[in-house]
Amino acid sequence: MPIPKPTFTPPFNIVRCSHTEWGVTDMDYARDFYIDLLGYICEDDLGDTLYLRGLEERNHHALILTKANSPSVYRIGFKVASEDDLDQAASFYADKGCATAWVERYAQGRTLHVDDPFGIPLEFYYKMEHRELLLQHYTLYKGARIQRIDHFNLFSNDVNTMTAFYVEELGFRMTEATVADIKDEDSDLWGTWLHRRGGVHDIAFTNGLGPRLHHIGVYVSTAMDVINFCDRLASSDHKDAFERGPGRHGISNAFFLYILDRDGHRTELFTCDYMTVDPDHPPRIWDLKDPQRQTLWGQAAPKSWFEHGTTFAGVEPTPATLTAAPIIAPE
């Protein structure tokens, strides 16, 4: 199985996943769903754009919601370690023949836009305006009690190639992976979980029509926050947002719940993963047909979980090269 070796001297230093911007079709609905129901902190409401963050985040925003005619994802963002890293990132991607541009972004310093070799629209920055730590402002805890953005999960039409690029050239490290057939030494990668900051993942790639955003994961403090939110969601006007869970993943060990907003944007409530900071931390490899891979307790995910994703604005996804099929829950 093609397990790439990470570089420990990447051309520029990515610190962590940071933020994303989504196009949404109804701003009133977005306020109700993301602020009132989920419990995001609204840092700024500019009418047609909302800037949201979690309780422990010091940066101005982790999720930007912008009025749009149709749902899409505009960018996924990463923080880099210095201003020099921004310049080095620009040179690196330009040398790869990728489109790059310096842009002005609200509440951010110098910001670089890149369309990576696979068509994923990325945003890199070093400076973002800081805000007060709200971790101990317990009167502000509501909804799911979201603490921070945790990861991006993307559909990839070629997990082998995309993983090799992010690991071997950008310095991401693999914590877990799924292969089509674990008994076959040459089996293709079906999914990979990669990190920069010492958790299970900042970004994951799973096999499918891509590139598309599968979901963002947001961290909550305890499994009971997930359970309590399920009760809140079930008694709200948004009970149709349930998609999968609650449960515990085999991959990552995390306790989870997946929900979909009316536009089809998927959010995972995520907690209880583990530390992977050691540079020689060996990845855990799963077989695609292992029933405990998706959910430790054995429940299979619904068909929608393997097929539905949100397109990146202006990016045409292509079918996956790998045809291996996961276990799917009966309809």
| Each residue's pLDDT tens digit, 293-305 | 999 999 999 999 9
pLDDT at 289 > cutoff 80: yes
Distances (CA, A) of 92 to 11, 111, 118, 261: 7, 15, 15, 36
What does the alpha-carbon distance between residue 217 and residue 159 come to, in Å, rounded to a whole number?
Answer: 20
Contact indicator for 194, 284 with CB cutoff of 8 Å: no
Please say whether the structural domain 14-127 has been given the CATH code 3.40.50.720.
no
CATH 3.10.180.10 domain range(s) in the chain: 14-127, 148-311
Token pair recorded at residue 206: 């799973």
pLDDT digits (tens, 9 = 90+) for 150-164: 999 999 999 999 999
Asked whether residue 227 carries a pLDDT value surpassing 70, the answer given is yes
Residue 22's H or E segment, with its range, is strand 14-24
Tell me which residue of 291, 250, 299, 305 sits closest to 272, measured CA to CA. 250
Residue 1: what pLDDT?
64
Is residue 265 within 8 A of residue 310, CB to CB? The reply is yes
pLDDT tier at 331, thresholds 50, 70, 90: confident
| pLDDT digits 0-9 by tens, 2-55 | 789 999 999 999 999 999 999 999 999 999 999 999 999 999 999 999 999 999
In this model, does residue 216 exceed pLDDT 80? yes
* Segment 260-280, tens digit of pLDDT: 999 999 999 999 999 999 999
d(CA 142, CA 139): 8
CATH 1.10.3720.10, applies to 148-311: no
Average pLDDT taken over every residue of the chain: 97
pLDDT tens digits, 245-261: 999 999 999 999 999 99
Sequence-ordered list of residues with C-beta below 8 angstroms from that of 15, at least 6 positions apart, any chain: 78, 79, 80, 81, 196, 197
Considering the entire predicted model, what is its pTM? 0.97
